[in-house]
Homo-oligomer: A and B are copies of this chain.
Amino acid sequence: MARLYLNESPFPPSPRVVEELARSGYVLNRYYDRELWNKLIKLLSHYAKLPREYVSPYPSSSEALCKLLRLARRERLRAVSLRPGFHAMKDFARVEDVELEYFDLELPSFELDVDKLLKTVDENTMLFIFNPNNPTSNVLIRDPSIVREIASRVRILVIDEAYYEFSGITFAPLVKELGNLVIVRTMSKAFCLAGARVGYVLASPEMIKRLDSLRIKFDIPIPSIAAAVAALQDLDHVKKVVEAIKVMRSRMARELEAMGLRVLPSATNFLFVEVGVRGTEVAAKLREKGIMVTAFDDPPSIQNFIRVSIGKEDENARFLRALREVLKEMGRLAN
């Protein structure tokens, strides 16, 4: 099976991770390792170019998003997310018992109409923006002044930068100026550590205190911390991974466009492709051919799309071959 449906990195993490993981085994009888934890904070602080008190690691960015939703419930805020947007938010809202509202992106290219957004949100809103967005792969905001404006109009502005290393765009420096801005990042993508479940939050010390008060002690396992530390000590590996994925992504986008398909401009490790027929059907047929991709029935505007992660060379080639066959079968491509 080619796993191209979770936007995982096709490459394993830095070889240093293996060593550090093994080493963590010798202290696994302990709930925490202060030294390792401090190393992680220091490395993240250096990586995000922010003082330590602006950084808080979480057991996955998913958990950080859950805790933010929990904060919204506690403080009786409206939680608003964009649509189409990160589909897991629905699950997070369910487990956190939060009713999520949606704001629609503009067709046909799923862009953000900021003026319209500002008319929808209010001073009682916790707004979630995934930048770049998922599943649409595009960047929604490039300009810090837009972030400043939105932040001034909501209670809390959460910007998820899961694909920061691919987009090169971050608003992390703004957390020093905007007390209500929360940046959420993950080590699952460019750092190739999805299985370690490590993410982090960048925000004002006050905001971090509020958020951290909603979690329990020792919630990040020592081996995960060790893996994150090792990965952060090998930024060359991250750079190589990101470059390799970008090269393959361009090639794949060109091939898909050559098939007459619309591909959204991607700033991530995946592509969002308009296939012209029901995406869930295409995904089911691809699965029969050993290729796993994602498609969505909701919202209707993306029913004719599939989301495909950039995999290894041979996986991408197999995907393209299989997609051609499927679209021919479905009458969408000429034989």
Q: Are B195 and A28 in contact (CB under 8 A)?
A: yes
A19–B28 CA distance with the chains assembled, in angstroms:
13
A95 at the interface (CB under 8 A from B): yes
A6–B195 CA distance with the chains assembled, in angstroms:
27
Q: Are A194 and B28 in contact (CB under 8 A)?
A: yes
Chain A count of residues within 8 A CB distance of the other chain: 56
Q: Are A216 and B12 in contact (CB under 8 A)?
A: no
Binary per-residue interface labels of chain A (3-16) against chain B in the complex, 1 for a CB within 8 Å, 0 otherwise: 10010111111000
Q: Are B92 and A28 in contact (CB under 8 A)?
A: no
Q: Are B31 and A12 in contact (CB under 8 A)?
A: no
A202 at the interface (CB under 8 A from B): no
The 7 closest A-B pairs by CB, nearest first: A195-B222, A18-B25, A223-B223, A22-B22, A29-B192, A9-B29, A28-B195
Residues facing B in A207-226 (CB within 8 A) are 213-224
A217–B194 CA distance with the chains assembled, in angstroms:
12
A247 at the interface (CB under 8 A from B): no
How many copies the complex holds: the figure is 2
Residues of B within 8 A of A193 (CB): 28-29
Q: Are A195 and B8 in contact (CB under 8 A)?
A: no
Q: Are B223 and A227 in contact (CB under 8 A)?
A: yes
Residues of B within 8 A of A265 (CB): none
Q: How far is the CB of A245 from chain B (nearest CB, A)?
A: 11
Could you pull out 25 A-B pairs where Cβ atoms are within 8 angstroms?
A: A9-B29, A11-B29, A12-B25, A13-B25, A18-B22, A21-B21, A21-B22, A21-B25, A28-B193, A28-B194, A29-B193, A31-B188, A32-B195, A33-B195, A62-B218, A73-B97, A88-B217, A95-B214, A95-B215, A95-B216, A195-B223, A197-B218, A221-B221, A223-B224, A224-B224
